[in-house]
Amino acid sequence: MKIEFVSPSAAPPAKAALAFIVFEKEALSGDAASLSGAVEASRFTGGKGQVLDIVAPAGIAAARVLLVGAGPKDKLDLIGVEHAAASAYAAVKTSGLTGLLIRLDGATAEQAARAALGVTLASYRFDIYRTKEKPEKKPSVETVQIATAADAKAEWARQAAIAEGVKFTRDLVSEPPNVLFPAEFARRVKEKESLGLQVEILGEKEMEKLGMGSLLGVGQGSVRESQIAVIRWNGAADKDAQPIAFVGKGVCFDTGGISLKPPEGMEDMKWDMGGAGAVAGLMVALAGRKARVNAVGILGLVENMPDGAAQRPGDVVTSMSGQTIEIINTDAEGRLVLADAVWYCQERFKPKFIVDLATLTGAIIISLGNDYAGLFSNNDELSANLLAASDSTGEPLWRMPLPAAYDKNIDSMIADMKNTGGRPGGSITAALFIQRFVNGVPWAHLDIASTAWKKPSSVPTLPEGATGYGVRLLDQMVADKYEG
């Protein structure tokens, strides 16, 4: 699908739909005025999410006209613009038409670019493994034109880079686990050096030298070698300036290990690398738009399998920090991966802050449902920056507590700590576990088990499946607060 910006007076091409954005309780005006009869014959009021699809309208040169509701005009924000444009696209995506022209006559450059972003995110599909799809099920719309008087080129270049990052994440998360194992994930990230990123891959030998017994224990039952990918983007004027850092849980498949998960829904655990996927997509976005910041992304890539060589409940491992961990449940593996990845990140890069992303706990879905990710942090300023970016990108985030009193739940009888803290507050004790590997640096943990995958989806910019949650949010925070 191609995006073009055209002038407000441009006529739609042949076999294209023409879309008008309509606000609640506002009369149709201009070129859309002749459609008031169609509106009267329907229940269309211009409310958010409504689309009135008018085939072969009389008096308008278009195969089809869409009236897209955007709610009250004074409440329209940029997310509303994205959603309206995405809904227009969804309405004609497989209609047989090949084009869509969205009229945004009075829009600003930013609104026009966000409309283009909305359509681009909505048009995502992961279809490389389909060989027999019927032609009538395939998307037919090839070109989407945004009609605006504003010059949206520069703003779109920036949004397009972010969209590329989201797409990279969605592709990684969608891939089946027989294809995307740790070394393949690392290889795909390495390919992104073409964007100006520097990528370093650590294998098990290097990790053993570093003493990463916590991460290595998770992968020891897998025939696939564990990896750490270190991605660097040095876009600041001073290439040696202190970087900001992001760490991702990359469990390419989580069977639970010896604490084996039940079969129902286990296929979902292919997206247990969604945190690492988001960090990888973020780094692609930062490089793509040449962000003026030094940033590091660390991916902890493993596969959690049951096997004769697998880690047992009862094992004690020694993490890179020197702290020992008693394994109670081999299915609480994400925190074991993060323990070493976060420590390594701090020791090596001394970053301004660390944000980790992880599909860490089923309990966060119980707490927050399927729209909000959980935010856990030792720092109010970093939290405020994340929450502000969440608002402006429409990736919902809710701050959760880190009560010191719960920390004793992960004390072990024989080691420094154990890897589970019991059922109550499961997302909190998981976060407290990671916090034991944070050594004075401002840190935030995003539990994205609730948001990395969406099925069903009612958000027009999120087709079912991999969402890419986190890429936009973190990119926005960097743009707002950390670029010099």
In the complex, which residues of this chain contact Zn ion (CB under 5 A)? 251, 254, 272, 334
Residue 420 binds which of Zn ion, ligand BES, Mn ion, none (CB < 5-8 A, kind-dependent): ligand BES
Residue 255 tokens read as 């069977």
CB of 376 to ligand BES, least distance (A): 15
For strands 99-103 and 227-234, give the pairing: unpaired
Residue 362 binds which of ligand BES, Zn ion, Mn ion, none (CB < 5-8 A, kind-dependent): ligand BES
Q: Which lies closer to ligand BES via its Cβ, residue 119 or residue 417?
A: 417
CB of 359 to ligand BES, least distance (A): 4
Q: Which lies closer to ligand BES via its Cβ, residue 361 or residue 393?
A: 361
In the chain, the largest separation of any two C-alpha atoms, in whole Å, equals 81
Residue 449 binds which of Mn ion, ligand BES, Zn ion, none (CB < 5-8 A, kind-dependent): ligand BES
Q: What is the distance between the alpha carbons of residues 116 and 3, in angstroms, rounded to a whole number?
A: 7
Start-to-end CA distance of the chain, whole Å, equals: 34
The partner residues of 342 in beta bridges, in order of sequence, read: none
DSSP letter assigned to residue 199: E
Q: Which lies closer to Mn ion via its Cβ, residue 21 or residue 360?
A: 360
CB of 335 to ligand BES, least distance (A): 8
CB of 405 to ligand BES, least distance (A): 19
Closest CA to 402 of 444, 461, 441, 367: 444
Q: Which lies closer to ligand BES via its Cβ, residue 171 or residue 331?
A: 331
Single out the catalytic residue among 335, 436, 454, 472. 335
Single out the catalytic residue among 190, 261, 399, 481. 261
φ/ψ of residue 336, rounded to 5: -70, -35
Q: Which lies closer to ligand BES via its Cβ, residue 133 or residue 264?
A: 264
Whether 335 is a known active-site residue: answer yes
φ/ψ of residue 35, rounded to 5: -95, 5
CB of 247 to ligand BES, least distance (A): 16
Q: Which positions ≥6 away from 187 have C-beta within 8 Å?
A: none
Spatial contact of 418 and 324, defined as CB atoms under 8 Å apart: no
Is residue 240 classed exposed, middle or buried when 0-12, 13-18 and 19+ CB atoms within 10 A define those classes?
A: exposed
Residue 340 binds which of Mn ion, Zn ion, ligand BES, none (CB < 5-8 A, kind-dependent): none
Phi and psi based region of residue 39 (left: phi greater than 0; alpha: psi -120 to 50; beta: remaining): alpha
Q: What is the distance between the alpha carbons of residues 275 and 474, in angstroms, rounded to a whole number?
A: 12
CB of 452 to Mn ion, least distance (A): 14
Residue 204 binds which of Mn ion, ligand BES, Zn ion, none (CB < 5-8 A, kind-dependent): none
φ/ψ of residue 98, rounded to 5: -105, -10
Residue 89 tokens read as 């696209």
Closest CA to 361 of 432, 465, 297: 432
| Residue whose CB is nearest to Mn ion in the complex, by number | 331
Binding site for Mn ion (CB under 5 A): 254, 331, 333
φ/ψ of residue 450, rounded to 5: -80, -20
Q: Which lies closer to Mn ion via its Cβ, residue 315 or residue 333?
A: 333
Residue 425 binds which of Mn ion, ligand BES, Zn ion, none (CB < 5-8 A, kind-dependent): none
Closest CA to 330 of 316, 311, 317: 311
Binding site for ligand BES (CB under 6 A): 254, 268, 272, 329, 331-334, 359, 361-363, 420, 426, 449
Q: Which lies closer to Zn ion via its Cβ, residue 15 or residue 261?
A: 261
Residue 12 binds which of ligand BES, Zn ion, Mn ion, none (CB < 5-8 A, kind-dependent): none
CB of 5 to Mn ion, least distance (A): 46
Whether 2 is a known active-site residue: answer no
| Residue whose CB is nearest to ligand BES in the complex, by number | 362
φ/ψ of residue 174, rounded to 5: -80, -25
The catalytic residue positions are 261, 335
